[in-house]
Amino acid sequence: MLGSVRFAAIAALCTLTFSASLCYAQTQDRRVPSSQAELRLSYAPIVQRVQPAVVNVYAAKTVQVRNPFLDDPIFRRFFGAPGQQPEQMQRSLGSGVMVDASGLVVTNNHVIEGADQVKVSLADKREYEAEIVLKDSRTDLAVLRLKDTKEKFTTLDFANSDELLVGDVVLAIGNPFGVGQTVTHGIISALARTQVGITDYQFFIQTDAAINPGNSGGALVDMTGRLAGINTAIFSRSGGSQGIGFAIPANMVRVVVASAKSGGKAVKRPWLGARLQAVTPEIAETLGLKLPSGALVANVAPNSPASRAGLKLSDLIVAIDGQAIDDPNAFDYRFATRPLGGSAQIDVQRGGKAVKLTVALETAPDTDRDEIVLTARSPFQGARVANISPAVADELHLDAGAEGVVVTDLADDATAASVGFQKGDIILAVNNEKITRTSDLDKASKTGTRVWRITLVRGGQQINVTLGG
């Protein structure tokens, strides 16, 4: 009786707003659990299976507390010499995932960057010292190995992240705020996010599963209990979760882990040898395209895989191995996750016609890099520089034909960073002396001049700078 009265009320309400038949159909789409078994549906079996493979990562580094007055010799009498300044231990907290039974853990590079000590804590509270096997800043991933253990650990298998769909349910497991291992759940909100600006390879899984500080490096798990991605960042105005988190897809994680297992100190990836640019609405209109999508070829290096395959300036790449390419970031990700040694089929639009090209999957030559850190008192002090090889150009997204000496890294407290040099700056000349090799720049930095006139290229633009000695 009560059920019929309830239905009559719903039908009456529907008549006032929609048709009664439509509202009846909507009520049939919902139902209460029909059995005790349905009331007990839970993610617990998945969590119990994967939780032992998710670990906490603790990193620590010793830093010297530097007093800015030490730059003045008068104040040194009161504050002491630099070596006498107190040291401070900086600690960071993150999460990680066991990906090999021998004790191999993958986490975010930013969790362990610059660390002197790294410890890994398992779900059962046991702690191990860990060594850093491989760091890859381009993907923000790092691989650790537990020390002094012969135990076989629980691991997570990799999912094929290309098979994920928006709306799939996922679990995020990590150690947010250091409170202990925590499980949150949500759905995949978006795929192939390329405008995030976190790493070189921008092709993130977006999820609304709660991710907070400390979750970095933790697992994003699908409903089969496999690793769908590594949680790496959140979008937040408050510092806490606001339902927008990003994870590195498992297929990219797999490439980094494979390099670590093979004993490599750097990740080996295929090299295209071409610079790509996004298709703007204006470019699309000029090319007669219906949609502003694809990756436009802006430069091709001689003797590169792209050149040998027949890729030409102004070609529009629209697919690789049958997978559509929306922008250069999508191509970079797809190409980087292809296995070395084989080939990839690239679909190109050229002059309104479809062209298929076969590109060899090989690494970029890295001969004559000659990477050094400049230590002489100069504006370049603390900068790491290298000769531009094809591998260096690929790493720093320089023009394929770029030549000279480039800044590859800067220490945070370096003079070079404080005066404004940036990673990727190409140094062309110092005090009217042409710079073609790192040895030239090393020599120029030791001249002890009082005025420094420097010519460099940044973002394709030549800049002239004058600095005091």
Helix axes 2-17, 20-28, angle to 10 degrees: 130
Q: What is the C-alpha separation between 68 and 66, in angstroms, rounded?
A: 6
Which one from 92, 95, 161, 216 is the annotated catalytic residue? 216
Per the DSSP assignment, residues forming a β-bridge with 215 are none
The question of whether 445 is a catalytic residue gets the answer: no
Task: Tally Cβ neighbours within 10 Å of residue 365.
Answer: 15
* Cβ burial, residue 289 (10 Å; 0-12/13-18/19+): middle
Which one from 95, 110, 189, 378 is the annotated catalytic residue? 110
The question of whether 140 is a catalytic residue gets the answer: yes
Amino acid, single-letter form, for residue 120: V
Which one from 95, 121, 140, 222 is the annotated catalytic residue? 140
Q: What is the C-alpha separation between 376 and 143, in angstroms, rounded?
A: 34
What are the backbone angles phi and psi of residue 337, rounded to the nearest 5°? -95, 5
The question of whether 162 is a catalytic residue gets the answer: no
Q: What is the C-alpha separation between 187 and 170, in angstroms, rounded?
A: 5
Structure tokens belonging to residue 119: 């410890």
Place of tokens 């990740």: 267
Q: What is the C-alpha separation between 248 and 254, in angstroms, rounded?
A: 10
Q: Could you tell me the sign of the dihedral formed by the alpha carbons of 392, 396, 399, 402, in that order?
A: negative
- Catalytic residue numbers read 110, 140, 216
